[in-house]
Structure 1
Amino acid sequence: MQTAHEIATRIDPATVPVTAKAVVPKQLDEGSALVINAVFRELQSCCPAWRQAWPDDKALAAAKKSWTKAFMAAGLHSLEQVRLGVEQLRLRHGDDRAPWVPGSGEFIALCQPSAEALGLPEAGKAYREACRNAHPAAEPRWSHPAVHHAACETGFHELRSLPEEKSRKLFERAYAVTVRMLLAGEPLREIPKALPEKVSICTPEVGRSALAGLRSALKGGSA
């Protein structure tokens, strides 16, 4: 029987599969640390039950570390977005104080501005606009490039043919992604320019007629 050493010396390192390393979040910079600390100060001020969630300094430090990873994964690094999230949390409760500490995912969702806050139509209105413009006989009029982009991502055929329950769900998901793209400064699909009022239509008959006229003119010129 071969020893472990003998087996090891016969293994070609190039043939050994390499296990992918776990993705480690980038180190938190000073600005992001300020955001995290600001979040926890605000949560402690508006959530009376925060001590139940973080009973001691160790638990608080662990929570900050967990929230930091969640914020970095979501691309949340703006104090303005954090303030929006805190304000949304306060508005959920008439006395401006939340009875419990939200989870990191719940808080991140509160930090995302609504379509209306960005000057866009709300999702239901945007969906109805997309359905109207998806009709083959429609003369498309888009209130905002974001509505057009979400309609394209959903698919005009799907908007026309699927039941409302399904097409609406597809559109609202695409619209939410589009809003996040706007926040990230990513480009959206351009709205096609309108066709000219007068459009030339070419058919075989038109082509043959034009060709006959050209031949006649050439014959007249050579006579």
Structure 2
Amino acid sequence: MFAEFELVYHNQYNKAFSSPEKLRYAKKLWFSNLRHISPDVIINATHRAIRESEFLPTIKGILKYCEPDNHELGLPDSHTAYLEACHAPQPKAEHAWSHPAVYHAGRASDWFYLASTSEHSAYPVFRKHYDDFCQRVKNGEELTIPSQKAIPETITKPLTPAEQRERMQKLRDELDI
């Protein structure tokens, strides 16, 4: 990792680690903060940092790059997810969602709000919820779309007169009639 940083971020690297003593201390510090992560993940994070940042990354930056990005987890970008949530037909739970996080963010944002509010106002609300659900997915949470039970076409067994009276009394009690 340090060899690649030296080649890619030459001037920044030499300024940050100007002496062998500073470099030795930095390597110990980085090791103590990254030792719980596998070497393959660290190397992939190093390559990702090199591709995405023009500045020498910090330990915190490398830790962030160690987390999988949304694309790797099958999560669409927030605007694509917003459009999917807005255009999904009813019933929402039966739609073939690109990822369950899109469904949950839409539900948390309120379907009616998304449908009846301009994108200028609704998208930030959706994006906040979507980012929260994306973080939960990154933390390892498995999101599922709740299954919707259909109402049966016919009731297979009619209620007895006693059951009908009992339910009617319960309804009267609830409505205080």
Tell me whether 1:43 sits opposite 2:5 in the alignment.
yes
Q: What CA distance in whole angstroms lies between the structure 1 residues aligned with 2:52 and 2:142? A: 33
Question: 1:124 — aligned with what?
Answer: 79
Question: 2:51 — aligned with what?
Answer: 91
Question: 1:53 — aligned with what?
Answer: 16
CA contact (8 A) 1:150 1:171 kept: yes
- With normalisation by structure 1, the TM-score equals 0.51
Larger relative contact order (Cα-Cα within 8 Å, sequence gap ≥ 6)? 2
Give, in angstroms, the shift of residue 41 of structure 1.
4.2
Tell me whether 1:194 sits opposite 2:125 in the alignment.
no
Tell me: CA distance 1:182–1:198, structure 2 relative to 1, closer, same or farther (3 Å). same
1:159-198 superposed matches below 5 A: 159-188=114-143, 190-196=144-150, 198=152
* Amino acid paired to 2:147: K
* Length, aligned pairs only: 154
CA contact (8 A) 1:115 1:122 kept: yes
Q: What CA distance in whole angstroms lies between the structure 2 residues aligned with 1:122 and 1:160? A: 20
Secondary structure of 2:10's aligned partner = coil
Greater shift, 167-176 or 117-126, is seen at: 167-176
Any gaps of 5 or more consecutive residues in structure 1?
Answer: 1-38, 201-209, 216-223
* Amino acid paired to 1:46: V
1:53-92 superposed matches below 5 A: 53-60=16-23, 61-62=25-26, 65=29, 77-92=37-52
Q: Which has the larger radius of gyration?
A: 1
RMSD over equivalenced CA pairs, Å: 3.8
CA contact (8 A) 2:109 2:125 kept: yes
Identity %: 25
Q: What CA distance in whole angstroms lies between the structure 1 residues aligned with 2:121 and 2:40? A: 35
Tell me: CA distance 1:177–1:78, structure 2 relative to 1, closer, same or farther (3 Å). farther
Q: What CA distance in whole angstroms lies between the structure 2 residues aligned with 1:157 and 1:194? A: 19
Q: What CA distance in whole angstroms lies between the structure 1 residues aligned with 2:110 and 2:27? A: 42
